[in-house]
Chains A and B, each alone.
Chain A
Amino acid sequence: MAGIVELHVPALPEYLQMVRSVVGAAASTGANLKPERVADLRLAVSEATTNAMEAHGLSGLEDRVTVRCDLSASRIEVEVADCGPGFDPNSLPSLPDVNSPDRLRHESGLGVSLMHHLTDETIVESHDDGTAVRLIVHFGD
């Protein structure tokens, strides 16, 4: 099955669950994608959409966040796009070692590394006028 599902959601936390549900349902139509892989993609999408919503919230933007699922015979690609001020994905601050007491001072900053961990490919493209995160999961892996 192939097709595209596109959502334009307000940058409000109450829409996160709906985004996860739609992406999970779309991914479940893919050939033989294991439930664990669907759950991983839902988590990765939650991370990307949270970052997008926060980017809009911090900038006072009322624009909607776009979540686009592109399903082909071999993979699903989910793109989460925002209109926030962007960031340099290559210079994200590293977190202290878990054995350091300072580690507990960091409640955020885990999302991008989680996305890489949970998907086959995570591609972050960020500019001054927005960020697009592409999360790709191949079927049959």
Chain B
Amino acid sequence: MLSDFRRSVRNQWVVLALTGELDLGSAPRLHQTVVGEVASGHHHLVIDLSGVDFMDSTGLGSIIGALRRVRSHGGDLLLVCTEQRVLRVFEMCDLDRIFVFHVDVDSAVGTPVRV
């Protein structure tokens, strides 16, 4: 389960920082949060996975859904992830090629927002 879920806004990016484990128990919470952000007009999201120490394919699925949702509104999704075990799930599913990874939030929010 996710033990913490923080939201902040930096340089026009909405940053969602997750802590804990991203699986069947917590993925619906991420899904609902992203749906809410997009419905509120926030289409440029950063999901900070630095504090996530476990993720399975259900968690990955919620991130795939987030990418699809923001892109369908002309937005973008950036990921912050350095945990090898989490990165490995993206790699094993061959999905590391469609996401943009940053090593920290500063780097991610330094990306210009394309409107």
Contact = CB atoms under 8 A, between A and B. Distances in A.
B95 A20 contact: no
Given A16-B23, A43-B89, A50-B24, A104 B94 contact: no
Contacts of B57: 47, 50, 108, 110-111, 114
A104 B25 contact: no
Nearest to B69: A104
Given A50-B56, A114-B92, A98 B62 contact: no
The DSSP consensus for interface residues of chain A is: helix
Contacts of A53: 24
Contacts of A17: 1, 21, 23, 25
A13 to B, nearest CB: 4
A46 B25 contact: no
B19 interface: no
A32 B85 CA distance: 20
A107 interface: yes
User: Which residue among B23, B56, B98 has the maximum number of chain A CB atoms within 10 Å of its CB?
Assistant: B56
B94 A98 contact: yes
28 contacts: A13-B24, A14-B25, A16-B24, A16-B25, A17-B1, A17-B21, A42-B54, A43-B54, A43-B85, A43-B89, A47-B57, A50-B24, A50-B57, A98-B95, A98-B98, A104-B65, A104-B67, A105-B68, A107-B64, A108-B61, A110-B57, A110-B93, A113-B93, A114-B57, A114-B89, A114-B92, A114-B93, A117-B92
